Amino acid sequence: MLLSNKVCVITGAASQRGIGRATARLFALHGGRAIILDLDGGQAAEAAAELGEAHRGIACDVTDKAACVNAAARVVEEFGRIDVLVNNAGITQPLKFMDIEPKNYEAVTDVSLRGTLYMSQAVVPHMRAQKSGSIVCISSVSAQRGGGIFGGPHYSAAKAGVLGLAKAMARELGPDNVRVNSVTPGLIQTDITGGKLTPELRADILKGIPLNRLGDAEDVARSCLFLASELSSYVTGATLDVNGGMLIH
């Protein structure tokens, strides 16, 4: 049990095959209370109920600062603290550079980057007050290798922004014993690609993965568990690659 009685907020965790949902499941197995945030409160509540009575689902659009602050306040009101935040909510779009319209840029950067800022700002006062906390930010290998997998350049930019934000947060929040780290997954088999990942593209990507398989949501969840728990007690500002060797640098 690596997270006994730890209160763990995970954004974008309602999606059935998603990384957030797998992370919530694993955290619950390790004794954590999973607080599942997602756009649809009903789906978030269902996802939490599946894990058991100790867990909660709350509607929260991470691009809405007031919604983030309210969600954090509800968690603290009921459970008294927030120990872990996983900034997982994200969307992607397979667009070429010149096809990115303002609305595409806003949609993609708003969820990953603005959402990471707003949700972190919502939990940090509580973590600072309790002088402990772990924040895990889900970036992407796309940030490190300049896309070329599924998401367009605006997705790479948003996820690279997450890496910079997380490192700066780690520096600033370290003195309050709040650790901040990032995970950079490679291609993980979830529904984020919305059926647009063709078998040809999949086969092509596979050729470049030394471990010779695409990743599963659980592969990423296990790295989140490491970063959320005391196993990583002296790790902050780090980026953990979970990509099967797709990018070795």
Q: Does the footprint of ligand NAD cover residue 190 (CB under 6 A)?
A: yes
Q: Does the footprint of ligand NAD cover residue 144 (CB under 6 A)?
A: no
Is the CB of residue 237 less than 8 Å from the CB of residue 180? yes
Q: Does the footprint of ligand NAD cover residue 247 (CB under 6 A)?
A: no
Q: Does the footprint of ligand NAD cover residue 62 (CB under 6 A)?
A: yes
Closer to ligand NAD by CB, 130 or 189: give it.
Answer: 189
Is the CB of residue 24 less than 8 Å from the CB of residue 218? no
Does the active-site annotation cover 155?
yes
CA–CA distance, 221 with 47 (Å, rounded to integer):
16
Report, in Å, the least distance between residue 5 CB and ligand NAD: 25
Closer to ligand NAD by CB, 14 or 160: give it.
Answer: 14
CA–CA distance, 180 with 239 (Å, rounded to integer):
10
Per-residue tokens: 120:
């972190």
Is the CB of residue 204 less than 8 Å from the CB of residue 187? no
CA–CA distance, 247 with 227 (Å, rounded to integer):
20
The SS3 assignment for 204 reads helix
Q: Which stretch binds ligand NAD (CB under 6 A): 127-135, 185-193, 200-208, 232-240?
A: 185-193
Q: Does the footprint of ligand NAD cover residue 124 (CB under 6 A)?
A: no
Q: Which residues are catalytic?
A: 155
Summarize as ranges the residues that interact with ligand NAD (CB under 6 A).
Answer: 11-12, 14-15, 17-20, 38-39, 60-63, 88-92, 111-112, 115, 138, 140, 185, 187-188, 190-192
